[in-house]
Amino acid sequence: MNKSLTFIPFEQLEDTWKAMEKQRVSPFMYYDYMRYIVRDEKRNPFHSVRIACIQNVSSREILMIVPLVYVKGPKAHYKMLGDIGGCDIADALYKDSISGEERGELISFFYKSLSGRLEFRRLYEKSPLYLNAPPERIVSDETVGYADIPVPEDWDGYLASLSGNSRHNLTRAVRRMDRDGIEHRLEVYGGDRSLPKEVWKLLMKTYYARFHAKYKRGVFSDETKGGIFVQVLKYIHYRTYKKLWFYTKHDSHSIPELANARTYVLWNGDDMIAFACGFLTHDQSICSYPRLAINEKYNYYTPGCVMLAEILQLYMQRGVTKHLDLSRGDEAYKFKMGAVAYCTHDIVLK
């Protein structure tokens, strides 16, 4: 079969893309989700969205889609369209009738057809696009840890599977909340229940406050180098540009708007204790979470773990969602809650 590589505008691929995404792919690869990322990338004058398509020359049928961005400048290169904060998986899509061997051939043709520097990050460790990358072109290959919690079939069995310390800490946190009159009520938004604007505003306020506290170097912090002037500039950066970026970035729009988005909030009356935002796969077997934060005034109660336990119990009772995918990051609390590690690869090809 004769093949060709053609760049086709994103907007012209909706039907083909959505047909391909019906296979078992990450919700971060769905067309409707990618629409928000395309919008963000088009705002950057140094980025050009380039969707590479491998086609059958005679029939013009699209067999493979690789969503790319061409980064202009002295170190010009291609990167994955999904290589952006908040999107935790980047990959290619394939026609459903393509065999594993045929995928390998398509990927080989893709790499031979695309010369120059390629910086492909967030590739799932079992992705054919990663596994079939030409080793002679690979300059670097780094892994990034991820975590996934399988939904238990039996709650007592799940608790028994945790370490004694983790089990004790979880039950103690719930007892502390009950003792202190903390309600810890889980509410789910999305699907048939829309996310109210006032809840979203409170969620964004909580999210930014957590980010600001976790990553900002204090104005007069000993950890910050460069003098008071530099510290003040950093403070202004976080209070202005960074805050604007938080409220305009792609996932701050996709989460409240997409039909497969779910937002879980742990409430104490009208006070938000913690929240998690995720995206369901089409069959709802996996919910992937790019955004999770706690209200720091409830730190004493380890609210993130309490919320995850509530979500796991909800999934267990409903019997549909089998994986609580906590995505990028290998923080210790995820594994204390029974997470299984997996990874993505960041590869650079010359």
220: pLDDT strictly greater than 60: no
290 with 324: CB under 8 angstroms? no
Give the domain ranges of the chain: 3-133, 148-342
Treating both helix axes as pointing N-terminal to C-terminal, what angle do 241-248 and 227-239 enclose, rounded to 10 degrees? 30
* 3-state secondary structure (DSSP) of residue 66: strand
The model's confidence at residue 225, banded by pLDDT at 50, 70 and 90, is: low
- Distances, alpha carbon 195 to alpha carbons 67, 188, 205, 216, 257, in Å: 30, 9, 15, 29, 9
> Going by C-beta distance under 8 Å and a sequence separation of 6 or more, which residues neighbour residue 1?
56, 57, 58
* Extended strands (E) in the chain: 3-7, 47-56, 62-71, 77-80, 93-94, 118-124, 138-150, 185-189, 261-268, 271-280, 286-294, 323-328, 340-349
- For 3-133, CATH number out of 1.10.10, 3.40.630, 3.40.1760, 2.60.40 equals 3.40.630
What distance in Å separates the CA atoms of residue 99 and residue 162, rounded to the nearest whole number? 40
- Give the CATH H-level superfamily of domain 148-342: Gcn5-related N-acetyltransferase (GNAT) (3.40.630.30)
Fold match, 3-133 / 148-342: yes
**Phi, psi for 63 (deg, rounded to 5):** -105, -25
Token pair in block for residue 154: 């039996």
32-82 per-position pLDDT tens digit: 999 999 999 999 999 999 999 999 999 999 999 999 999 999 999 999 999
- One-letter amino acid of 306: V
Average pLDDT over residues 161-167: 96
| Model confidence band, residue 24 (pLDDT cutoffs 50, 70, 90) | confident
pTM of the model: 0.89
Computed over every residue of the chain, the mean pLDDT equals 92
**What is the DSSP annotation of 31-58?**
HHHHHHHHHHHHT-TTEEEEEEEEEETT
Token look-up 């010359």 returns 350
For range 125-145, the mean pLDDT? 97
Percent of the chain with pLDDT over 70: 91
pLDDT of 218 reads 46
Q: What residue type is 103 in one-letter code? A: R
| Percent of residues, the chain, with pLDDT higher than 90 | 85
Q: What is the pLDDT of residue 248?
A: 80
Q: Which of 182, 209, 174, 189 is nearest to 293 (CA)?
A: 209
